[in-house]
Amino acid sequence: MRKVYCQKCRKQIESRKELYTMQIFFSIGAFCGSCYIEKIKSVSSLVVSNTPLNGRYANFLTLMTLVGLIMVYFAEVAYIKIPLIVVLSLVLLMRAYSFIRFERHLPRKRI
């Protein structure tokens, strides 16, 4: 397992509960709880999404995105079909990246 450190204070993040991944422009960063909150306050929500990429709520959103993607795929919406598929796929890719890059290295709970 690889170690995951907070991008801001360099503290080691020991469990998924302490991990908050965040999308900043086109990159994804890992933060501890307190730095995440600080970061949210300091940066415009236009640049940074307010919900962390990991966690239960994010998993729910990922599921909804997946359902949306399947629905768009079969829907009769010729004009917006391709852009919608691209956008929804990007959301899923970001989620997957956050998982592969950070989450899978951490235990669910602190050992």
Chain residues binding Zn ion by CB under 5 A are 6, 8-9, 32, 35
Q: How far, in Å, CA of 15 to CA of 81, rounded?
A: 39
Smallest distance from the beta carbon of 11 to Zn ion, in angstroms? 5
Nearer to Zn ion, 87 or 105 (CB): 105
Nearer to Zn ion, 8 or 69 (CB): 8
SS3 state of residue 67:
helix
Longest alpha-carbon distance in the chain = 51
Smallest distance from the beta carbon of 10 to Zn ion, in angstroms? 7
Nearer to Zn ion, 6 or 28 (CB): 6
Smallest distance from the beta carbon of 12 to Zn ion, in angstroms? 10
Smallest distance from the beta carbon of 107 to Zn ion, in angstroms? 19
Nearer to Zn ion, 9 or 70 (CB): 9
Q: Which two tokens stand for residue 68?
A: 């949306």
Q: How far, in Å, CA of 92 to CA of 99, rounded?
A: 11
**How far is residue 71 from each of residues 7, 42, 89, measured CA to CA in Å?**
37, 37, 13
